[in-house]
Structure 1
Amino acid sequence: MSKAVSVEYRGRIAIITIDNQKQLNALTQDEYYELATYMRDIAQHDEVFITILTGKGRYFSAGANVSISSSQPDDDSDLAKHWLRTFVAGNLNITHAFYTHPKILITALNGPAIGLSAALIAFSDFIYCVPSTFLLTPFSSLGLVSEGNASRAFVQRLGIAKANEALLMSKRITAEELLSVGFVNKIFEECGKGEDEKFLGLVLEEVEERLGEHLIGSSLIQIK
């Protein structure tokens, strides 16, 4: 596993961290695969009831690293097969890992979320963020279709009006807008850009207070 994505187990909580700050936490196809693998591994840990996904640095994730599309097949006639086996399969794999994750999934947005990474977090059960957070899914401006099942998940979590702004207009959705429509549960106003450790600490305090051992873990999973 690469250092760009890592997992730490803390009793009933598993923390997945994206740390590729030089690339603003953009992920390659292989790194999205690793993220999906970690989520499925966590699903097998009976002692874990909560998964927290967060990032290091100023950005949560700048989406897909462009290097995922750098490889080309030797025979141009096999382009469709090549992309089906690589990009499409990878996209389906990470999306499936998110929408089938059995644990309580909490995303802690330490900064902006862009592209596929932004689409995937719509499957979270709770989302916390810092004031500098924004959501940007520029698929239409890049000549792409929406990824990560965003055309469905965004409508459910953002509402049809904001979902259309995000997906069709490629509009940047601010933290305040995300809070107003219920996409995020809370903005931690006391956290500045790059204060990821402080932010994660506050999120863990929130989780302990709201989802601590006073609640029955197995009940949480069954309710979800």
Structure 2
Amino acid sequence: MSEPTQISTYFKEAMTENRNLTEKQKQILEASLSLFAEKGFANTTTANIAQRADVAEGTVYKRYANKQELLRAIIQPFLAVVLPRMATEFGAERVNLPFNTLRDFLTSVVTDRMHFVMANISVIKVLFEALMYNVELRNKFKDVATKAIGQIFTPAVTRLKEQHLVADIPNDMVFQLVISTFLGAVYREFLDLSPRDVNEQITFIIDTLDKGLRP
């Protein structure tokens, strides 16, 4: 199987396809995401963004009043294009494959997503920082994410139940256990807790879910 597409690649594709933005706006937004991920939102200046985007600093201010507005402009294509596209690719390449055991399913899904998260952790931190302080965007993200999770995992979980590989518990409780266990490992990266080897974390998540979801 191919390696999962990087978030920055999805974003660049969304920028390329967006006919409502000028080329300079696309350059500014791509530069902003890249710099926010590299330096952090607080440590990035509009001068940095202008230099990376190869535009005058006045052009940045002309298009976007401040960095918060830039961050909001970055989030919009994530909600409209990037997240749904990521979900579709993930479902096709991992979740909807045939599996003979629950552990095989968990190994495929957890391994793929943990490596994806670790490879994109700096960008993910930028996105979650934006969502943390903006209720409107957070609610939109919740709606998009909930829909994506349901579309991807409901058929897979139903199939695993029919094979008697997953306990007969409500799907929303299955999702709750999977998401909370997985995000617990991701959250330690946000808190900069003592590091754990990614493969050790993967094994721990798989073992926990295997025990919790088996009939």
TM over 0.5, shorter chain: no
- Structure with bigger RCO (C-alpha 8 Å, 6+ apart): 2
> Per residue, is there more strand in 1 or in 2?
1
> Per residue, is there more helix in 1 or in 2?
2
Question: Radius of gyration: which is bigger?
Answer: 2
